[in-house]
Amino acid sequence: MGLDDALIFTRVVECHSFTQAATGLGMQKSTVSRRIVQLEERLGVRLIHRTTRRLRLTEVGQAYYERCRQIMLDFAEAEQTVMQLQQAPAGLLRITAPIEVGQWILGRVLGEFMRLYPDINAEVELASRSVDPVEEGVDIAISVGQPQDSTLIARKLFETRRRFCASPAYLAQHGVPLQVEDLVHHRAITLSRDPVRYWPITEQNITCHRALTCNNITFAREAALAGAGIAALPTMITDQEVREGHLVELLPDVVLPTGEVYAVYPTRRFQAMKVKAFLDFLMQSLPVVEGRLVEPVEARLLTSRLYTR
């Protein structure tokens, strides 16, 4: 089968009309009809049932159409790829990200990317809310957890470890939990995405008394520093406070769920050069070891080479 036959057949199916397909292809209707007949004769099958009012694919025709459509998409993508190889990343890049990820990582990485590619402009929104990149016209949405929409592409960037921590003042007033069961008697600062009834512990249900619930991890950390309760927070925003004694790490052997951070975008097909280039640059720039985001001190050592070029 020639590529022309696949194109003609695909257009007829998608237009539901020989006439419209012929117009779009710049051909005579009789020519299109004859090419489809010749294709069916060569294959020895009927692909399309024709009536005076409509066209309907046979079962074989449906299977054949799906393969032909894929061929057309692959061909178009190949052409797009070749054209993009001749172009440098340019244009407006729209990104959303959680506040902490944006402040700790994204700002420096994006700034360096824009230094290397001066034809890139960027709009960045840092927010705790979930963003649908298709609905809001965003090129890349960085999010915690995979999207529920299966039509979106989710590229895993890294994982973060969480720890229980509280202020020395809180522990002096309420006591130090020495085993996981002791958490039942303590006040919890929880995130909205955590379980409602239980502390966020992997494979163990310990009843939780929610003293404070919020949707932002920096807010939760500040509340813990002020003595409001115990919080399960990412190490990347508590490392310095624990090191300086403003927060105390509790129950270090208890396994807490890791946070998985993804770059979410609409499709890989015909992906703009600016999007592909930034995703690749972001992956190369992240201070990640064996899939885990390393601690801030280590991260500065790992990425120092990136920002001193």
**Per residue in 19-28, pLDDT tens?**
888 888 888 9
Q: Where are the domains of the chain?
A: 3-85, 91-159+259-307, 162-250
Distances in Å between the Cα of 68 and the Cα atoms of 30, 61, 113, 124 are 22, 10, 39, 40
Average of pLDDT values for 266-276?
75
Average of pLDDT values for 276-298?
71
Q: Whole-number mean pLDDT of the chain?
A: 84
Residue 304 has pLDDT above 80, yes or no: no
CATH code 3.40.710.10 for 162-250: no
Distances in Å between the Cα of 172 and the Cα atoms of 67, 176, 177, 238 are 69, 8, 11, 20
Average of pLDDT values for 213-227?
93
**Distance between terminal CA atoms of the chain?**
53
Query: Does residue 207 or residue 54 have the better pLDDT?
Result: 207
b/e for 137-169, b at 16 or more Cβ within 10 A? Answer: ebbbbbbbeebeeeebbbeebbebebbbbbbee
Residue 193 has pLDDT above 90, yes or no: no
Percent of the chain with pLDDT over 70: 87
pLDDT value, residue 82: 67
AA identity, residue 82: V
pLDDT value, residue 86: 57
Average of pLDDT values for 96-118?
91
CATH class of this structure's domain 3-85: mainly alpha
Instruction: Say which range, 156-160, 196-200, 285-289, has the weakest mean pLDDT.
Output: 285-289
231/21 Cα distance (integer angstroms): 62
**CA-wise closest residue to 117 among 125, 127, 109:** 109
Asked if domains 91-159+259-307 and 162-250 share a fold, the reply is: yes
Average of pLDDT values for 75-89?
72
Query: Does residue 90 or residue 53 have the better pLDDT?
Result: 90
Please state which CATH number belongs to domain 91-159+259-307.
3.40.190.10
pLDDT value, residue 105: 86
Percent of the chain with pLDDT over 90: 35
Structure tokens of 259? 């946070």
pLDDT value, residue 224: 97
pLDDT value, residue 257: 85
Residue 203 has pLDDT above 50, yes or no: yes
